[in-house]
Amino acid sequence: MPSNPPLYELQKARLQAYAHAGYNFDPDKAADYTPATGWRVDDYETELPAEAPGPAEPHGAWAAAREVLRNYTFPPPGLITGIFLPDQPLDQRVMVLRGRFLLFTFWFGVRIGGVTDEIRTLPDGRREQVWGYNYRTLEGHFERGQIEFTVHKDLATGRVWFHIHAYSQTGHIGNPFYWLGFKLFGRMLQKRFANESVRRLREQVEEMLRKGWASPAAEQAPRIRATSSHKDAAEQLEENR
């Protein structure tokens, strides 16, 4: 009996369509996106298990958080599911996000806008090891903006933490029913996404450490959710351009 093709193969056409979509905002003007100009700016943070001072441990909390971030397993699955090609380099990744609330299901495209992997020296002289990435909204998304996920380690104290930084604004929504639903529930869902994401990442890191964490093999990567029975994504992209 022939085996079914990998689920991400079934989604290649949709992913490729979003790969050619443009941003629905100008990332080069990020400095102008402030509450004073009508943008929401949000920061969320959670503590992770501390390590010994010095560089991140190979199988400690910092490295475990990096794996959770890379595999995008931390968002609440009842709210957001990410679909992407697992062998695509992170800095080239395009994702289709499936969002759900009430009886609605929405499909959005985002693109990784940058990957951070560095030792930072702060103004007070402290040094921290930082890894993470941001993604940016594409045409058809109900929001405009960028969200960044980073894991940090203070090299002097061993403190480890996860941080989310985002700026966003409601985008163009052509469908009046979607517009009303997003106006009523969008901000609440945005906060829920962030709060549950920091909680889930912390819990996943703690579980990995309890089980004697080691870097997972490629074949153990999370399954990519199939959406071949849904045509809403392409229709929504076209409708909201």
CATH of the domain at 49: 3.30.530.20
Percent of the chain at pLDDT > 90 equals: 46
| Amino acid in position 13 | A
User: What order of strands is seen across the sheet that includes strand 104-121?
Assistant: 40-48, 160-170, 143-154, 127-137, 104-121, 94-101, 80-83
Higher pLDDT, 77 or 153: 153
Considering only the C-alpha atoms of the chain, give the largest distance between any 2 of them, rounded to a whole number of Å.
64
List the Cα angle 116/201/144 in 5-degree steps. Answer: 60
Query: Would you say residue 139 lies in a domain?
Result: yes
| Domain residue limits at 64 | 21-240
Is 15 among the domain residues? Answer: no
The pLDDT value recorded for residue 217 is: 37
pTM score: 0.81
Both tokens assigned to 100 = 């759900």
**Please, which pLDDT band fits residue 222 given cuts at 50, 70 and 90?**
very low
Q: Is residue 132 part of a domain?
A: yes
Mean pLDDT, to the nearest integer, of 4-21?
70
Alpha-carbon gap, residue 54 to 128, rounded angstroms: 9
| Total number of domains constituting the chain | 1
- pLDDT tens profile 43-55: 999 999 999 999 9
